[in-house]
Amino acid sequence: MAEVVLYHHAQGLTDGVKSFADELRQAGHTVHLPDLYDGHTFATLDEGMDYARTTGFATVTERGLRAVQELPEAIVYAGFSLGVMAAQQLAQTRPGARGALFYYSCVPVEEFGTWPDGVPVQIHGMDEDPFFTEEGGDLDAARALVASAGQAELFLYTGKEHLFADSSLPGYDAEAAALTTRRTLDFLAKVS
């Protein structure tokens, strides 16, 4: 079974993120859930982003990087939206990564150097999510990663919700979330 570190999105370590982690644990995987917000959760994405801005995006990411110091190198890095920053940086720069799972976001590979040989990655997002497809260039970054990496997959789901796999939020899409979970579990089975 795989060992995974899963970073939460901008609304914090919500019950939906915990539930997603629990599904992975029920399949036999070890999942670590660092809290980058020191216990704070937010009702809206805007409130969560305000907290991240006030705290400093670099500080939030640094918390994520520090969270793995005591963990083994042979790990899968996963992140939801804001959490992709730490997950992707670690997948690209910390030796021994077993794989990477990016939900709702992807950073241009050049931000952290190059994509490491032999590290598989999956990226999940909705095809009409403005945060993923328009504003930050995440979809373009995801497509570039898939084109350049040997073992990379991009999954686009029909819809416009950003945090669609978080069962505790109004934008939850049960069908897309179930497919995301199934694809995640298939991925983890392959890298175990």
- Cα separation, 101 vs 88, in Å, equals 9
Q: Which amino acid is at 42?
A: F
User: Domains (ranges, CATH) in the chain?
Assistant: 3-191 (3.40.50.1820)
Contact present, 159 and 173 (Cβ < 8 Å) = yes
Contact present, 168 and 19 (Cβ < 8 Å) = yes
CB atoms closer than 10 angstroms to residue 45: 18
This prediction's pTM: 0.97
> What pLDDT does 111 receive?
95
Residues whose CB falls within 8 Å of the CB of residue 131, separated by 6 or more in sequence, listed in order: 81, 104, 105, 138, 162
Residues whose CB falls within 8 Å of the CB of residue 50, separated by 6 or more in sequence, listed in order: none
Contact present, 14 and 166 (Cβ < 8 Å) = yes
Contact present, 134 and 111 (Cβ < 8 Å) = no
> What pLDDT does 66 receive?
96
- Residues lower than pLDDT 70 in the chain: none
> What pLDDT does 150 receive?
87
Which ranges in 38-137 belong to alpha helices (H)?
45-55, 57-66, 84-93, 130
- Strand intervals (E) in 74-130: 76-80, 99-103, 121-126
